[in-house]
Each structure stands twice: as C-alpha cells, then as structure tokens.
Amino acid sequence: MGKSSRLPGFYKKPVAERAKVVAEWADLTPEELAALSGEGGTALSPELADKLIENVVGVYGLPLGIAANFQINGRDVLVPMVIEEPSVVAGASFMAKLARAGGGFRTSSTPPEMIGQIQVLDLEDPEAARAAILAHKDELMELADSCDKVVVRLGGGSRDLEVRILDDTPIGPMLIVHLIFDCRDAMGANMVNTACERLAAPIERITGGRVGLRILSNLAERRLARAECTIPAEALAFDEYPGERVVNGIVEAWAFAAADPYRAATHNKGIMNGVDAVVIATGNDWRAIEAGAHAYAARSGRYTSLSTWGKDEAGNLIGSLEMPMAVGIVGGATRAHPVAQVALKILNVRSARELAEIIVAVGLAQNLAALRALATEGIQKGHMALHARQIAISVGATGEQIDRIVERMLQEGEISQPRAQALLKEESGK
Ligand code: MEV
C-alpha cells in the first residue's frame, strides 16, 4: 500500500513540525528540509536570484503550504502550494478529503505538444504560399527537429505543421504557420521559439514573403489536462445544509458562470487560485498558464466557465475541469530554484503530464471549495475564522490558546489585534 496523504491534525502543528512530517513523507534530505525554511541561505539566495533575472536587489518570500488529502488516479499526493491568500490551502485540502469519498480525482492529459507561430507577411498569393509550405512540410519539420536533438532522442520533436490564413487583420491578409512540437517534460518555450526562429529563413525562401513574429502560443490547446471527481451528496452535507441542497447550489453556481462572463471571470479566478499556487511552487511560468486558461475559456467566442458541475442519476455531484497546462519538470526555474526542486520531489512526479494533471485536480478542488461556500454560508465566515487565527498567532498565542482566542473573537464579532492581545492577557492570567 502507498502512503496516505491524509494528515489528521497537520494544521494544528507548528511550522517546523509540519515540515518534518512532509520531509519524512517525501524522504527529503536534511538540505531539502532546510530549503523549505530557508535556513542558512539554502532557499533562493540573492546570488542565485541574480542568475535568474536582471538588476536583482534581493528575494521576495511567499508562504509555501501543503494541501493534504489528495488522491489522484488512486495515488496519494501531498501538494505544495505557494500563495499569499488565506483559505486556499485549507479549501483545497478539505475538498480533496470530500473527493476521497468518491474515489478521489481521475485525471488524464494529451501529449505535451506546444504550438509555435510564424507570421508571414507581404504575400501576393497567400493560398499559393500555403500550398508551397505544405509541400515542404517534412523538410521544415526535420529542420525544427535539428534544433533540439535531446528532446527528439527523448521521443519529442515536431509533430505537425499547419498553415492558417488570416484574411481579415487591421493590415490586411497574413499567413500563419503553426509548428506543433512535442516538448516532453519541458515547458518548452525556449525549444519552440528556437525552432520557429530557425524556420523563418526557409519559409521566406519557400513563400517569397517576409517573416515577422516567431514565437510560441500560450493558447496551448493541444496540451490539455483534465480532472474529474464524483462526490457523494451526503459527503457535502454540513450544519443545516443537507447534501442535496449543497449539490443543487453548486450546480446553480456553475450554471451562472457558464452563462455569464462577469461571473465566469471570478469562477475561473477561484480555479486559478489552486492552479497558480502549484505552478508557482514548482517554478513554472504562471503567466503562461493564466494566459492559456483565459484564452481557452473564451475559445467558443464567448468567455465561460473552465469547469463543469452536474449531478449523476444517484444525485452525486460530478465535476470536471479541462484546460491547457504547459508546465515542465525540467529546465528554467523548475531546476534552478531550490524550493521548486523540493516541491517537485514532494509531488513525486515522473513527467510533466503527471504534474499537469495534479495541477488541474487542485484547480477543480479549489473551484469546488469556493462554490460550496458561496452556495451555502458564503465565503466570509471561513475567511474570518482564518483571519482571526492569523491575528491570534500574530499576538503570540500558541497551541490551544489560539483556538480559544479565535472562538472568543468570532463569538464577540470583534476580530482585531487589541482584542486578541487582551484575550491573550486573560489566558496568561489563568
Ligand atoms: C476568491 O479568491 C475566489 C472566489 O471569488 C472564487 C469564486 O467566486 O468562485 C471565492
């Protein structure tokens, strides 16, 4: 039997103890454990940061949390999440716990194929240019492969070459070549951009046109990851809310997002709370993921929800999320950032596709957490409880004092540092 990602009482432990639990779970070395706390400059140092970007003057910290309870295709995973917003890690963990009652998340993905775009201008006959490019397809794909022999050896490389004509642009017609390139375990921006730049001169020769842009597309619609879950209605029941009512409320909330772009933007933002947190933790490019997600959400010509929620015949809640997920486990910051390396080790993923699938499962869990709260008690109750907890901790409360102070502040409806300080003083006098 594999390890369980159920970590009862994890949230009550002090930070260092939680880190130890995770270190044991994921077999982290003492150096990797130290990288989590940044002890002795083992996390991202200014020197290393200076190699990543320009004009470095320091490093910027964000909280790294662990979402527990995730079961994905039968495997338990602990999910590192980097995010400044309260409730996100707790929400994902809680929904993953509910999803376990229905067998966890089922995920799948398409091959890691990116699209590189080459813009061709000044063409007298775009149709003829298109035919000419397609007649040279094999040699152009071979040329693209010659740019990165390593990825080709690993089973990646050119997969196809497509040509589109944009008849109606503000400057008239143009022709766009799409190079479809399998990037294997890399996000692939560098390899795709290099290949596109390499194809520019031959494409100019073949078409007689002039090549403009040579760059990958972040609408990575061929590199999709998908997650699904089924949650028994009774697992969703809480307080005065029967399971059936929660299921119906979630479906109604989804229908709102499916029909209305104003709501869909916020609905999808909730999904991205989960997605981005894992993308950042693993050193991936979250702007690329954001761009791809929202473009995909608008692919029908109308911006809509990325996820779908419904009910099966037995009244269980069923959810699914499909979106582009161009992430890597090699190259870029995934390798250079010491904490991203530790995050990848905790996830224990063997391929970029596996990482992409976990990320989408977290996005679906996060979406569920938001909809469940919004469709029932609202999100402020949970937020205020967490806020109160943070305030209690900030004034120096420890252990069970925290829970008592939080409880009092919530009951009294006064959540503030002075009140937390006064309550801590009372506690100390006990
Ligand atoms: C807040 O960060 C995210 C939510 O607004 C998402 C949603 O409304 O579905 C709660």
**DSSP string for residues in 329-345:** SBSTHHHH-HHHHHHHH
267 CA: nearest ligand 1 atom: 9
367 CA: nearest ligand 1 atom: 9
Query: Are 265 and 320 in a shared domain?
Result: yes
Dihedral of CA atoms 293, 288, 76, 378 in degrees, nearest 10, equals -50
**pLDDT tens digits for range 406-417:** 999 999 999 999
Domain contains 5: no
Domain contains 373: yes
Residue found under tokens 């582009």: 324
Query: Are 294 and 341 in a shared domain?
Result: yes
Query: Are 277 and 423 in a shared domain?
Result: no
Domain contains 227: no
Q: What is the reported pLDDT for 430?
A: 66
Q: How would you write 215-247 as a 3-class SS string?
A: EECCCCCCCEEEEEEEECHHHHCECCECHHHHH
Which one of 17, 50, 85, 138 is the catalytic residue? 85
Residue 39 has pLDDT above 80, yes or no: no
Of 153, 184, 217, the last residue of a domain is 217
**pLDDT tens digits for range 94-111:** 999 999 999 999 999 999
Q: Is the CB of 305 under 6 A from ligand 1?
A: no
Residue found under tokens 């499916």: 258
Q: Which residue has the higher pLDDT, 42 or 169?
A: 169
87 CA: nearest ligand 1 atom: 2
Residue 41 has pLDDT above 70, yes or no: no
Of 377, 396, 417, the last residue of a domain is 377
The predicted model gives 9-37 an average pLDDT of 94
Nearest CA to ligand 1 atom 3: 270
Nearest CA to ligand 1 atom 10: 370
Of 182, 217, 252, the last residue of a domain is 217
**pLDDT tens digits for range 130-186:** 999 999 999 999 999 999 999 999 999 999 999 999 999 999 999 999 999 999 999
131-140, 361-370, 420-429: segment of lowest average pLDDT: 420-429
- How would you label 333-345 residue by residue, b for 16+ Cβ within 10 Å and e otherwise? bbeebbbbbbbbe
Q: Is the CB of 169 under 6 A from ligand 1?
A: no
CA dist 186 and 258 (Å) reads 33
Q: Is-catalytic flag, 27? A: no
**Which helix H or strand E contains 163, and what residues bound it?**
strand 157-166
Dihedral of CA atoms 365, 336, 38, 2 in degrees, nearest 10, equals 50
122-136, 289-303, 394-408: segment of lowest average pLDDT: 394-408
Q: What is the reported pLDDT for 382?
A: 80
Q: Is-catalytic flag, 269? A: yes
Q: What is the reported pLDDT for 386?
A: 83
- Assign residue 352 a region: left if phi > 0, alpha if psi is -120 to 50, beta otherwise? alpha
Q: 42: pLDDT confidence band, cut at 50, 70 and 90?
A: confident
Query: Can you say whether the dihedral through the CA atoms of 182, 186, 187, 188 is positive or negative?
Result: negative
Looking up residue 195, the CATH number of its domain turns out to be 3.30.70.420
Dihedral of CA atoms 284, 290, 291, 297 in degrees, nearest 10, equals 140
Contact yes or no for 383/340 (Cβ under 8 A): no
Q: How many domains does the chain have?
A: 3
What is the total residue count of the chain? Answer: 430
Residue 38 has pLDDT above 90, yes or no: no
Query: Are 95 and 147 in a shared domain?
Result: no
Residue found under tokens 């029908």: 300
Query: Are 83 and 130 in a shared domain?
Result: no
Query: Are 371 and 385 in a shared domain?
Result: no
The predicted model gives 350-357 an average pLDDT of 98
Query: Are 250 and 311 in a shared domain?
Result: yes
Q: What is the reported pLDDT for 189?
A: 96
CA dist 384 and 406 (Å) reads 10
Query: Are 248 and 387 in a shared domain?
Result: no
Q: What is the reported pLDDT for 43?
A: 84
Domain contains 1: no
The predicted model gives 60-69 an average pLDDT of 96
Token pair recorded at residue 100: 């376990």
Domain contains 57: yes
CA of 245 to the centre of ligand 1 (A): 20
Query: Are 257 and 361 in a shared domain?
Result: yes
Query: Are 311 and 323 in a shared domain?
Result: yes
Q: What percent of the chain has pLDDT over 90?
A: 90
Residue 380 has pLDDT above 90, yes or no: no
Query: Are 175 and 323 in a shared domain?
Result: no
Nearest to 216 by CA among 179, 182, 186, 184: 179
Looking up residue 401, the CATH number of its domain turns out to be 1.10.8
Q: What is the reported pLDDT for 307?
A: 98
Q: What is the reported pLDDT for 1?
A: 58
Token pair recorded at residue 290: 């954001």
- How would you label 397-423 residue by residue, b for 16+ Cβ within 10 Å and e otherwise? beeebbebbbebbbeeeebeeebbbeb
CA dist 123 and 137 (Å) reads 19
CA dist 157 and 114 (Å) reads 10
**pLDDT tens digits for range 190-230:** 999 999 999 999 999 999 999 999 999 999 999 999 999 99
Nearest CA to ligand 1 atom 6: 270
Pure H helices in 172-222: 189-207
Q: Is-catalytic flag, 85? A: yes
CA dist 267 and 257 (Å) reads 6
Q: What is the reported pLDDT for 171?
A: 97
Q: What is the reported pLDDT for 385?
A: 86
Domain contains 406: yes
Query: Are 262 and 150 in a shared domain?
Result: no
Q: Which residue has the higher pLDDT, 12 or 144?
A: 144
Host domain of residue 66: 10-109+235-377
CB atoms inside a 10 Å sphere around CB 170: 4
Looking up residue 98, the CATH number of its domain turns out to be 3.90.770.10
Domain contains 337: yes
For the chain, give the mean pLDDT: 95
Q: 384: pLDDT confidence band, cut at 50, 70 and 90?
A: confident
CA dist 274 and 91 (Å) reads 9
Contact yes or no for 35/323 (Cβ under 8 A): no
Contact yes or no for 307/320 (Cβ under 8 A): yes
424 CB-near residues (< 8 Å, 6+ apart): 392, 395, 396, 397, 401, 405
CA of 357 to the centre of ligand 1 (A): 22
Q: What is the reported pLDDT for 330?
A: 95
